[in-house]
Amino acid sequence: MVSMKDISSACGVSVATVSKALNNHEDIGAETKRRIREVAKQMGYFPNSAAKALKTNRTQNLGVLFEEDDHSGLTHDYFACVLDSLKSAAEEKGYDITFINSCRTRPGRMSFLEHCRYRGFDGVIIVCVNFLDPEVLELVNSDIPTVTIDHLFNNTCAIMSDNVKGMHDLLSYIYEMGHRRIAYIHGTESSVAQRRLASFYKTVAELGLDIPDEYILPAAYRDTKAAYAATEKLLDLKKRPTCILYPDDFACYGGINAISERGLRVPDDISVAGFDGIRIARHIEPKLTTLKQDTNLLGRRAAEKVISLIEQPKTTLIEQIVVEGEVYVGGSVKKI
């Protein structure tokens, strides 16, 4: 590895001058700068990030917390898409992405915060995690710039998909398509689930709908079996819904299976709608009508925000950034 020392000897200047020339300091002559840079380039010089980090306490490295109990994180289309755009946006700005070690079982493991300090992450993005975990709290309460995705702490920036507007728009669309008996199988155990459910009720009220209690059922996210079971319950009702909303697209397929097995067809006999807008749902018939979340923007905003917190801590607001999704009109909700 060619170091600054090598360049300094080659150029007949001191190491300090090389450093300053490469970092474009004011107090180095134009010609000297040019020469040093040329030699550096020609010798294939690249800085040593460890040395730089040691000296500056900056790593140009972002930690991403992405924990998956059931290994559903990385393979979860929504979060994978967010991570992907997060990665692109960070890389464009010269930051690298490192996963925060979420292995729980290693002897001598560090807590999330300890790991972040160990690696010297300039900032952290919490994408997919149990937000009640004490270690997560420790992390968000630290002085490390942090943004969360889809969860609101009172002292960190949050990038949120607009679940309230999303549910409102989706439900309104379904209403416009003529549906009045609309069931909602809602997700569980997260603030996102609560927000969507609240928005559902609010929109129901706005639209003047009368939704019986038995139309509202819980089912864990991405749990096709639970969605299947809940769907069966709905289909057993005397007054069946004409449209069923699901916690997410993946779970929706569980519901579609339940419907098909009764010999009913989507959307001719009953309509369904998902939530998320996963890619494959646009390639399988019937294409899912769903609320397509803007994962690209979510990831990008998260990266931009954390980098802004790092580079302009004074002028960056601790705020909640809301990213709107849009109704994707597939073919699973029929006009009646």
User: Which chain residues interact with DNA by CB under 7 A?
Assistant: 1, 3-5, 12-17, 19-20, 22-23, 26-33, 45-48, 51-52, 54-56
Taken as a whole, the chain contains a residue count of 336
Characterize 155-169 residue by residue with b for buried, 16 or more Cβ atoms within 10 angstroms of its Cβ, and e for exposed: ebbbbbbbbbbbbbb
Q: Is 138 in the site for its own copies (CB under 8 A)?
A: no
Binds 284, which of DNA, its own copies, none (CB < 5 to 8 A, cut-off by type)? its own copies
Is the peptide bond preceding residue 247 cis, with omega within 30 degrees of 0? no
Residue showing tokens 């706005």: 206
For the window 192-221, what string marks contact with its own copies as x by the rule CB under 8 A? Answer: ------------------------------
Q: Is 29 in the site for its own copies (CB under 8 A)?
A: no
Q: Please state the closest distance from residue 86 (CB atom) to its own copies, in A.
A: 10
DSSP category for residue 108 = T
Q: Is 105 in the site for its own copies (CB under 8 A)?
A: yes
DSSP sequence for 272-325:
EE-SB--GGGGTSSSPPBEEE--HHHHHHHHHHHHHHHHH-TTT----EEEE--
User: Which residues within the stretch 148-177 sit at the binding site for its own copies (CB under 8 A)?
Assistant: none
Q: Tokens in use for 116?
A: 């972040």
Q: Tokens in use for 45?
A: 């010089």
Q: Binding its own copies by CB under 8 A: which of 16, 34, 42, 92?
A: 92
Q: Tokens in use for 166?
A: 């999303």
Q: What is the enclosing helix (H) or strand (E) of 229?
A: helix 224-236
* Residue closer to its own copies, measured from CB, 280 or 317: 280
Q: Please state the closest distance from residue 91 (CB atom) to its own copies, in A.
A: 4
Judged by the rule CB under 8 A, the positions of this chain that interact with its own copies are 1, 44, 46-51, 53-54, 59, 61, 68, 71, 73-75, 77, 80-81, 83-85, 87-88, 91-92, 94, 96-99, 101-103, 105-106, 110, 114, 117-120, 224, 250, 253-254, 256-257, 260, 279-280, 283-285
